[in-house]
Amino acid sequence: MSERTGYRRNPAIHCWIKHIEEGNYDENENLFQTIFGEVKRIRFVATIIEKNEKLIESDDFDAGLDDDSKVNVRLLFSLDDSTGLIRAIKDDVDPERYADFNVGDNVDVVGRVSKRGGYISLWIEIIRKIEEPNFILLRNAEVIKRIKSGDVHKVPVLSNVNDLREDEFNYGDGEDLKEKVYSIIKSHSERGKGIIFGNLKKEIKLPDIELRSYINDLILESKIYESDKDIFESY
């Protein structure tokens, strides 16, 4: 009996876009070091905020197309999951099959992530429209549960964020810092008004990317909300 060597696909990690943005990209291994470990493929829910089509000449795209194929139709999406924005690509498609995917639709996406020229891209393997709103809550709850369970890794925050010195950052335990962010917002809310992002940053002295990640967590946990542009209040 002949043996056949199978291709082992990396598992798709359920996460948010911010977990990829905050990860460290390993060019040699073509993967991201994240709080969930090494990640090559991800699954997440998001909203389509932009959709475009592009024709790619077959000579410039090596995807195993038939000899008589002249062009490859590429779909380009911008996807937003409320924690971040990512450019997503679906290659060699029949445009009619995706005609009902429109701006504003919620989608469940699986794909490979990579980074070139400083930009993160998602190469879509599967994209499905979400018709049931509870599905979004379920997916987000799965991510929150994993984080709260402690099944995460520490990812260093880059020291050059916003040109601040590393010693200006108030590093500490993530949950403690998130609770401190919450307590500050709650304190200002009890005085009858929320707090603007810039003032919150001055009080807790965190880089933008880390502070916004805690804010997004608190919003998803229904502890705070954005009452106006960059103004946050507690419930």
pLDDT at site 198:
87
pLDDT at site 18:
92
Going from the C-alpha of 226 to that of each of 79, 112, 222, the distances in angstroms are: 21, 32, 11
From first to last of its 235 residues, what are the pLDDT tens digits of the chain? 444 444 456 899 999 999 999 899 988 888 999 999 999 999 999 999 999 998 876 554 444 444 455 568 999 999 999 889 999 999 989 989 999 999 999 999 999 999 987 889 999 999 999 998 889 988 888 998 888 888 888 775 544 334 333 333 343 455 688 889 999 999 999 888 889 988 998 888 877 767 887 888 888 788 898 888 889 999 8
Query: Where do the DSSP E strands lie in the chain?
Result: 12-14, 24-26, 31-34, 37-39, 41-57, 71-80, 85-90, 106-116, 119-129, 195-196, 224-228, 231-234
Topology (CATH) of 12-148: OB fold (Dihydrolipoamide Acetyltransferase, E2P) (2.40.50)
Confidence (pTM)? 0.62
H-helix or E-strand spanning residue 218 = helix 208-220
Topology (CATH) of 164-234: Arc Repressor Mutant, subunit A (1.10.10)
DSSP 88-141: EEE-S--GGGGTT--TT-EEEEEEEEEEETTEEEEEEEEEEE---HHHHHHHHH
User: How far is it, in rounded angstroms, from Cα 32 to Cα 20?
Assistant: 7
Q: In the chain, what are the domain boundaries?
A: 12-148, 164-234
Name 86's bridge partners: 79
Contact between 222 and 214 under an 8 Å Cβ cutoff? The reply is no
